[in-house]
């Protein structure tokens, strides 16, 4: 139960539902507040319009017929007032001081409304509590002031009823939207759950399987397509790893078998030349060590774990070219330093492989040159005057444990890792390896690297 609750709390479906319901609830609350305020303003405006209309009509009646006989005289704060009812509404006429309550009231000079009577006095005279909400409207009629008050109890009652209705409607709508969001989110995420279940069923032995890609062209289709691309990369990587382990095991068995055979033969022969046996064993150990070093370098290339130091490329290349080879190697002469950023040992090992391969294939000459393109890259060319590499084989020789027909012998062709190591090192340093025809007549292997920027 606890796991189910934790899974539910972390689900996208729940978060989408809560987010949708929360945003809708916030918008609905803001809308409800705005509705109540707008409704209150409309009702008050309607009440004010009705009061002003009643005042205008009653003023016309007063001008035409004079004070109604039913009007009662009331003194309010020293002001003489006449109170009467008409059309279901109470009116109060405030008369200025010194004006008789006769017809001349209509022709007397008008006084300022504030000098006659206030809304509070009129409300009190009409029996309205001081806490009540009401509107006060007044209009001069001759020398008097005709006024009326409009209680807003009906307005407040309408607002209260609307507010009570919103207390029921708003939560109901939020729940409705939340439930709808839950259902829609579940339907939208159902393809994702199906993809997840299918991916969970794919194991290392079934990386060839692919997910069905819907033709909708939406995000789900993009997700399925991306997962299929990832599965393809994993399948290729798995195949490469298995092939590497298989080929490496085969290559490692040979020097081990040679050393074991030499030792067993020497052990059975009482007159064995242990010095010669030791030389053979040491030679195989050297071959074994170089193979292990290349395998470790390939692993570092797969992990992209090369160093990022500033390296003088000319120093590295000249050091590699100066080593003793079967044929002499012409090294480059540079006036200015060419600085690249990378792993000095890895680059040295890559160039050493290229020069060693060229020296093995060359008849009489190997040349190493460094060439800049006047921009942000530098190229290191290794040329030989050997038989060259056929164009249809240039894509294969850079693969791991691949040798040309001329180099099938272990003693002559090595383990077939040289160009693969050089290719991985070049790629890991942001460059590339290419194979073309050499001006010397053989093959030209070039590593292009980016120049370090300050």
CB of 298 closer than 8 Å to CB of 251: no
Q: Is the pLDDT of residue 375 over 90?
A: no
Mind giving me the DSSP string for 104-133?
GGGTSPP--GGGT--HHHHHHHTT--TTS-
Which residue matches tokens 């056929």? Answer: 390
Q: Is the pLDDT of residue 106 over 60?
A: no
- Mean pLDDT, the chain, as a whole number? 79
Percent of the chain with pLDDT over 90: 17
The answer to which of 67-76, 211-220, 277-286, 289-298 has the lowest mean pLDDT is 289-298
Which comes out higher in pLDDT, residue 319 or 404?
A: 319
pLDDT for residue 381: 93
Measured CA to CA, the distance from residue 367 to residue 440 in angstroms comes to 9
pLDDT for residue 124: 66
Which residue matches tokens 């033709």? Answer: 215
| Radius of gyration (C-alpha) of the chain in whole angstroms | 50
Which comes out higher in pLDDT, residue 295 or 180?
A: 180
Angle in degrees, 0-180, between the axes of helices 12-65 and 153-200, rounded to the nearest 10: 160
pLDDT for residue 120: 64
Mean pLDDT of 166-194: 88
Percent of the chain with pLDDT over 70: 79
Q: Is the pLDDT of residue 85 over 90?
A: no
Mean pLDDT of 400-429: 66
Q: Across 303-317, 368-382, 396-410, which has the greatest mean pLDDT?
A: 368-382
Residue 406's pLDDT band, with cuts at 50, 70 and 90, is: very low
Residue 77's pLDDT band, with cuts at 50, 70 and 90, is: low
Provide the CA 208 distance to its chain's centre, in angstroms.
30
pLDDT for residue 348: 87
Residue 217's pLDDT band, with cuts at 50, 70 and 90, is: confident
Q: Strands, DSSP E only, in 204-350?
A: 309-312, 329-330, 339-342
Global pTM exceeds 0.95 = no
CB of 48 closer than 8 Å to CB of 135: yes
Provide the CA 299 distance to its chain's centre, in angstroms.
32
Measured CA to CA, the distance from residue 227 to residue 199 in angstroms comes to 8
Sign of CA dihedral 96, 101, 106, 109: negative
Catalogue all structural domains in the chain, each as residue range(s) with its CATH number.
Answer: 1-65+152-201 (no CATH), 69-151 (no CATH), 203-303 (1.10.287), 306-450 (3.30.565.10)
Mean pLDDT of 231-242: 78
Q: Is the pLDDT of residue 171 over 70?
A: yes
The vertex-275 CA angle with 269 and 279, nearest 5°, equals: 110
Mean pLDDT of 265-281: 82
Within 10 A of 80 (CB to CB), how many other CB atoms are there?
21
The three state secondary structure string of 358-418 is HHHHCCCCEEEEEEECCCCEEEEEEEECCCCCCHHHCCCCCCCCCCCHHHCCHHHHCCCCH
């Amino acid at each position: 139960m606890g796991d189910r609750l934790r899974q539910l709390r972390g689900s996208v479906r729940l978060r989408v539902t809560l987010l949708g319901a929360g945003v809708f609830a916030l918008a609905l609350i803001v809308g409800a507040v705005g509705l109540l305020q707008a409704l209150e303003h409309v009702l008050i405006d309607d009440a004010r319009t009705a009061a002003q209309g009643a005042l205008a009509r009653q003023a016309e009646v007063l001008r035409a017929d004079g004070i109604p006989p039913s009007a009662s005289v009331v003194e309010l704060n020293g002001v003489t007032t006449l109170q009467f009812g008409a059309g279901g509404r109470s009116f109060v006429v405030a008369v200025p001081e010194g004006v008789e309550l006769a017809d001349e009231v209509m022709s007397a000079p008008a006084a300022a409304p504030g000098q006659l009577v206030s809304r509070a006095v009129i409300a009190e005279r009409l029996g309205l509590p001081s806490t009540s909400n009401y509107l006060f409207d007044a209009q001069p009629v001759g020398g008097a002031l005709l006024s009326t008050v409009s209680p807003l109890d009906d307005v407040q009652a309408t607002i209260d009823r609307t507010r009570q209705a919103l207390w029921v409607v708003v939560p109901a709508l939020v729940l409705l939207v939340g439930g709808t969001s839950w259902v829609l989110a579940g339907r939208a995420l159902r393809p994702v759950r199906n993809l997840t279940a299918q991916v969970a069923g794919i194991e290392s032995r079934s990386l060839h399987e692919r997910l069905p890609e819907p033709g909708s062209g939406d995000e789900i289709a993009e997700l399925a397509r991306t997962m299929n691309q990832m599965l393809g990369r994993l399948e290729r990587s798995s195949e490469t790893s298995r092939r590497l382990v298989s080929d490496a095991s085969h290559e490692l068995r040979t020097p081990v078998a040679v050393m074991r055979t030499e030792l067993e033969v020497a052990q059975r022969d009482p007159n064995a030349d242990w010095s010669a046996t030791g030389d053979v064993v040491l030679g195989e150990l050297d071959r074994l060590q170089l193979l292990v070093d290349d395998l470790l370098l390939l692993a570092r290339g797969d992990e992209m774990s090369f160093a990022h130091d500033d390296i003088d490329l000319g120093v590295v290349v000249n050091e590699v070219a100066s080593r003793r080879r079967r044929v002499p190697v012409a090294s480059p002469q540079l006036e200015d330093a060419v600085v690249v950023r990378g792993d000095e040992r890895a680059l040295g090992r890559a160039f050493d492989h290229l020069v060693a391969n060229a020296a093995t294939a060359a008849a009489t000459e190997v040349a190493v040159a460094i060439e800049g393109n006047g921009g942000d890259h530098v190229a290191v060319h290794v040329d030989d005057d050997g038989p060259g590499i056929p164009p249809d084989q240039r894509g294969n020789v850079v693969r791991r444990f691949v040798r040309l027909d001329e180099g099938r012998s272990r003693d002559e062709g090595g383990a077939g890792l040289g160009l693969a190591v050089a290719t991985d090192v070049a790629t890991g340093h942001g460059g590339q390896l290419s194979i073309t025809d050499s001006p010397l007549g053989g093959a030209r292997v070039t590593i292009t690297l980016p120049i370090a920027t300050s």
